[in-house]
């Protein structure tokens, strides 16, 4: 699949559309599309059908779903600018599979560094880091070869599920939700800004 169906006119059409919605303050959270207003995806394709990114824009459905998630979690100012920035960053006529693997690898590395900085039992920390590292290696291999290894994916998923179960049990006894909520919310907001910026960077280099 080639971005914008290898047609610059398609990119121009949808970029004009989202810019017009942004100028009219019609890009809103929590609603796909209706009465001329909607979210990032809605204001791009005038519906909530993520698969339409593939048929109308030549962009993979995973990108539409990622855009959706980032948009809903970005601070409002960043969120309203995000749809146009995303479309503008994508070159015409490229395959974006590699960007998916690059983004996942980057995000997994961010998680590895995060876990390393937590005050956890060392055995648990090692288990979690090893599981994330296996998942990252899967994406790194795909970046190099252009092939997604399903057998390696199954092994990485098993390790990740085991680590998640152990980490959740530890978290239940170690965290106070009330005291942590404010700091966690601010950190999550900043994290989504970093994710959006990284995705834009990778798309521009595709």
* 58-100 per-position pLDDT tens digit: 999 999 999 999 999 999 999 999 999 999 999 999 999 999 9
**Inter-residue contact 29 to 75 (CB < 8 Å):** no
* 75 and 107 co-located in one domain: no
Helix (H) or strand (E) holding 198: helix 177-204
Percent of the chain at pLDDT > 70 equals 85
Could you list the residue range(s) of the whole structural domain that residue 150 is in?
A: 97-174
Question: What's the CA gap between 88 and 14, in Å, rounded?
Answer: 10
Q: What is the pTM of this model?
A: 0.86
pLDDT at position 155 is 67
pLDDT at position 177 is 44
**Inter-residue contact 103 to 136 (CB < 8 Å):** no
Confidence of residue 173 (pLDDT cuts 50, 70, 90): very low
pLDDT at position 169 is 57
The answer to the question of residue 197 being in a domain is no
* 76 and 7 co-located in one domain: yes
* 26 and 102 co-located in one domain: no
CA dihedral 138, 52, 29, 74 (to 10 degrees): 30
- Cα–Cα nearest to 86, from 14, 148, 26: 14
Query: Could you give the number of structural domains in the chain?
Result: 2
Question: What's the CA gap between 161 and 157, in Å, rounded?
Answer: 6
* 51 and 115 co-located in one domain: no
As beta bridge partners, residue 33 has: 38
* 149 and 128 co-located in one domain: yes
The answer to the question of residue 85 being in a domain is yes
Question: What's the CA gap between 57 and 92, in Å, rounded?
Answer: 10
The answer to the question of residue 195 being in a domain is no
Q: Which residues fall within 8 angstroms of residue 76, CB to CB, at 6 or more apart?
A: 29
Question: What is the bridge-based pairing of β-strands 37-38 and 33-34?
Answer: antiparallel
* 145 and 158 co-located in one domain: yes
Asked which of 41, 61, 95 is the last residue of a domain, the reply is 95
Both tokens of residue 40?
């990032």
């Amino acid at each position: 699949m080639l971005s914008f169906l290898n047609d610059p006119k398609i990119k121009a059409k949808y970029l004009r559309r989202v810019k017009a919605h942004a100028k009219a303050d019609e890009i809103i959270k929590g609603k796909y599309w209706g009465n001329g207003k909607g979210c990032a995806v809605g204001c791009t394709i005038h519906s909530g059908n993520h698969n339409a990114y593939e048929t109308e824009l030549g962009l993979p459905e995973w990108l539409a779903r990622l855009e959706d998630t980032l948009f809903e979690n970005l601070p409002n100012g960043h969120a309203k600018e995000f749809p146009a920035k995303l479309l503008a960053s994508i070159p015409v006529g490229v395959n974006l599979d590699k960007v998916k693997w690059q983004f996942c690898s980057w995000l997994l590395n961010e998680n590895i560094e995060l876990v390393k900085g937590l005050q956890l039992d060392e055995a648990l920390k090692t288990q979690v880091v090893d599981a994330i590292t296996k998942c990252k290696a899967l994406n790194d291999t795909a970046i190099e070869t252009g092939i997604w290894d399903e057998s390696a994916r199954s092994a990485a998923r098993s390790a990740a599920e085991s680590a998640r179960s152990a980490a959740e049990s530890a978290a239940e006894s170690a965290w106070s939700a009330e005291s942590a909520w404010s700091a966690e919310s601010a950190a999550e907001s900043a994290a989504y800004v970093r994710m959006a910026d990284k995705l834009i960077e990778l798309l521009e280099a595709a």
